Amino acid sequence: MPHPLRDRYCIVGVGETEYSQHSGRSTRAMAVEAVKKAMDDAGLTPKDVDGLLSYHMGDSTPSTAVASDLGIRPNFFMDVSGGGSSTEALIGLAMGAIEVGMCHTVAIYRSMNGYSQVRIGGTGVRAAAPLSGSALLTRPYGLISPLQQFAFAFTRHMMEYGTTNEQLAMVKVVHSRHASANPKAFKKNPVSVEDVLNSRWIVKPVAHLLDCCLETDNATCIIVTSAERARTLRQRPIYIMAVQGRGTRPFPDNPWAEAPITRIGGTYIAPRIFELAGVGPEDVDITGCYDAFTFTVVLQFEAYGFCKVGEGGHYVSSGIIALGGKRPNNTSGGHLCEGYTHGMNMVIENVRQLRGQADDYCPGWREGRHTYHYGPGGCRQVKDPEIAMNMGWGTPGYGSALILRR
Amino acid sequence: MPTYEYRGLVLHLPELDQEHWGYFEAARRHQLVVKRCLDCNLLRWEPGPSCPFCASLRWEWAPVSGKGEIYSYQIVYHSVHPGFRDWVPYPIVLVELDEQRGIPTPGYGLRIAANLVDAQFRPEREERVAIGARVQVVFMDLPNGLTLPQFALSGEPPRGRVWRHAG
Ligand SMILES: [Zn+2]
């Protein structure tokens, strides 16, 4: 018997601001623009939206401010602490809030001046803050940035499975080609394996500069409502088959305790999410995999069973994840090339892909006339994808997942 | 409330921080300690207030040998924090202590992150950093009264596989 919540909720609107490194305005102004665009996309007015959810790590703007600015009268709102595993988690929370009757239509947004103001990487404001608690056990050793926190797991993966820098570079190569066909992408230049390997080391042996995602200023928004309501709105409803927010491995905040440390939260989420959705990895047409670093993609494909453990390096360099391949990943260019909104932009991309609305350089894309010729500056719409999966990354310790269908 | 400065970082260590106070107190005496559960007797890292194996709230600080091997490593070439820029490239190692390997579950271990340093407490040379290399704890006394546990190569023969990145 299918899970009772399968296909009962839909994503009905998506919107975002420009991806830049110089927004020149407040996170509040960007949040409001993203929510407004998502409402317009869905054909909703502020009086049709009565729930607001957001998450923050570093900077943000509270949902009460967004409600005030847009004239939304929320019946339910919440701003949670969190980063890359929050998008999927809040989609699940929105479904729950609607299910118990607290509200009926929820806008989920993330707004961040992630380059010009509060950089995730630990520089600026974050670097100057006094240290206490468990940070005393890492930061005095110069172990500060997210990449450094993940690097022990990545190095072990190289040692245990022979994953190479060339294989990792292919993630960037593929995503950069996807971004070259995305008018919104902040970095549109296609790069080669040599470009990645010739970029400077950030943390050796696991990441050169081009293995690391962008830091950008932007806001993004996703609107969730019931399937009944969705069917009356402007866009084709995109059904939520299953969502799992923030599943963890044992000792989620001490990811070094248990071996193999290359086992991530997704390992534990995978059987649950596929059972809830009633499909398996082989049924998924497109993926949106959290690419904070090229290595996070490798670990997640293994964890969710798209390939065997240890074969992630081969998977990402086999052509499968490229446009025109069997299961394209991050067709917008993802965090590596489109921009960084802490997980949300890849969900937005998959919604548009399922609608057949990926914006690209095809002359007739607005009317759905795509060429399906996947060269630089060409098409990036996948032909008739039916099922999409997003994988959100918190740390190796925890993550989130979402399976959508058209 | 003691506050220390190190490489431009401000470290707060209040006495009520029972997760870390005793650890740094022991380091000042050049002793490496971890927490031991007083109910199931298992050691744990990191030093939280409860036993992750039996949820007991009763614990004590327990000395350990400070010997172990490098379980994983990273060489930092780009320091996001300006205080470490004169140190790059510097190694950070994840050391698996000899105590309690594979207990209570296969693969579990007491693993501590620190820098791998030479006899002058400078970053160890990259080509000497390898998974499987034997190490021992050393104590880096800072002029301001803080002591940071660090690790150095012990010169013991490796017990298992040794691996380093070919690059
Ligand atoms: Zn215990």
Percent of chain B past pLDDT 90, that is, above it, reads 91
The mean of the pLDDT values for chain A is 95
The residues near B143 (Cβ < 8 Å, ≥ 6 apart) are none
If you average pLDDT over residues A212-218, what whole number do you get?
Answer: 96
Confidence class for position A123, pLDDT limits 50, 70, 90: low
How far apart (Å, rounded) are the C-alpha atoms in residues A98 and A53? Answer: 12
- Determine contact, residues A393/A296, Cβ cutoff 8 Å: yes
Which residues on chain B are in Cβ contact (under 8 Å) with A293? none
User: A205-209, B103-107, B145-149: which range is least confident on average?
Assistant: B103-107
pLDDT at res. B2: 86
The candidate with the shortest Cα–Cα distance to B119, out of B146, B151, B85, B97, is B151
How far apart (Å, rounded) are the C-alpha atoms in residues A159 and B128? Answer: 16
* Predicted confidence (pLDDT) at residue A128 exceeds the cutoff of 80: no
Shortest Cα distance from B106 to chain A (angstroms)? 8
Query: At residue B42, what is the residue type?
Result: L
Q: Looking at per-residue confidence, does B7 or B1 come out higher?
A: B7
Instruction: Return residues with CB closer than 5 A to ligand 1 (ion).
Output: B 37, 39-40, 51, 53-54, 56
* Predicted confidence (pLDDT) at residue A121 exceeds the cutoff of 70: no
**What's the DSSP call for residue B124?**
P
Which residues on chain A are in Cβ contact (under 8 Å) with B140? none
- Determine contact, residues A176/A191, Cβ cutoff 8 Å: yes
Retrieve residue A274's tokens.
């596929």
- Determine contact, residues A225/A105, Cβ cutoff 8 Å: yes
Please compute, for residue A267, the number of CA atoms within 13 A of its CA located in the half-sphere on the CB side.
17
Helices (H) and strands (E) in chain B, counts: 1, 10
DSSP strand pairing (A105-113 vs A51-56): parallel
Shortest Cα distance from B78 to chain A (angstroms)? 5
If you average pLDDT over residues A187-216, what whole number do you get?
Answer: 97
SS3 B73: strand
* Predicted confidence (pLDDT) at residue A333 exceeds the cutoff of 90: yes
- Determine contact, residues A40/A15, Cβ cutoff 8 Å: yes
pTM over 0.80: yes
Retrieve residue A262's tokens.
């290359």
* Predicted confidence (pLDDT) at residue A305 exceeds the cutoff of 90: yes
SS3 B53: coil
Check B74 against A206: CB less than 8 A apart.
yes
Which residues on chain A are in Cβ contact (under 8 Å) with B45? 254, 257
Please compute, for residue A225, the number of CA atoms within 13 A of its CA located in the half-sphere on the CB side.
26
Run of H or E residues at A106: strand A105-113
The candidate with the shortest Cα–Cα distance to A65, out of A109, A95, A16, is A109
pLDDT at res. A118: 84
How far apart (Å, rounded) are the C-alpha atoms in residues A327 and B56? Answer: 47
Retrieve residue B51's tokens.
């036993």
Q: Looking at per-residue confidence, does A164 or A375 come out higher?
A: A164
Distance B18 CA to ligand 1 centre (A): 17
If you average pLDDT over residues A319-334, what whole number do you get?
Answer: 98
pLDDT at res. A392: 96
Percent of chain A past pLDDT 70, that is, above it, reads 98
Q: Looking at per-residue confidence, does A41 or B46 come out higher?
A: A41
The residue with tokens 């947004």 is A109
pLDDT at res. A26: 96
If you average pLDDT over residues A153-181, what whole number do you get?
Answer: 97
* Predicted confidence (pLDDT) at residue B118 exceeds the cutoff of 90: yes
Confidence class for position A367, pLDDT limits 50, 70, 90: confident
Shortest Cα distance from B132 to chain A (angstroms)? 11
How far apart (Å, rounded) are the C-alpha atoms in residues B130 and B126? Answer: 9
How far apart (Å, rounded) are the C-alpha atoms in residues B114 and A137? Answer: 8
Check A152 against B109: CB less than 8 A apart.
no
* Predicted confidence (pLDDT) at residue A127 exceeds the cutoff of 70: no
pLDDT at res. B98: 97
Of A129, A131, A137, nearest to B46 by CB-CB distance is A137
Confidence class for position A125, pLDDT limits 50, 70, 90: low
Confidence class for position B15, pLDDT limits 50, 70, 90: confident
Q: What is the pLDDT of residues A87-118, one digit of tens each?
A: 999 999 999 999 999 999 999 999 999 999 88
CA angle (A224, A226, A230) in 5-degree steps: 80
Shortest Cα distance from A122 to chain B (angstroms)? 6
Q: What is the pLDDT of residues A249-292, one digit of tens each?
A: 999 988 898 888 999 999 999 999 999 999 999 999 999 999 99
* Predicted confidence (pLDDT) at residue A120 exceeds the cutoff of 80: no
ipTM for the assembly: 0.97
User: A37-51, B7-21, B57-71: which range is least confident on average?
Assistant: B7-21
Check B78 against A133: CB less than 8 A apart.
no
Which residues on chain B are in Cβ contact (under 8 Å) with A138? 113
Check B89 against A205: CB less than 8 A apart.
no
Q: What is the pLDDT of residues B49-79, one digit of tens each?
A: 999 999 999 999 999 999 999 999 999 999 9
If you average pLDDT over residues B94-111, what whole number do you get?
Answer: 95
A199-224 burial string, b = 16+ CB within 10 Å, else e?
A: bebbbbbbbbebbbbbbbbbbbbbbb
pLDDT at res. A260: 85
Which residues on chain B are in Cβ contact (under 8 Å) with A134? 19-20, 46
Distance B17 CA to ligand 1 centre (A): 20
Catalytic residue numbers of A? 290, 340
* Sign of the CA dihedral with A153 first, then A244, A334, and A317 last: positive
If you average pLDDT over residues A149-156, what whole number do you get?
Answer: 96
From residue A137, give the alpha-carbon distance in Å to each of A260, B111, B115: 21, 11, 11
Distance B54 CA to ligand 1 centre (A): 4
Check B81 against A261: CB less than 8 A apart.
no
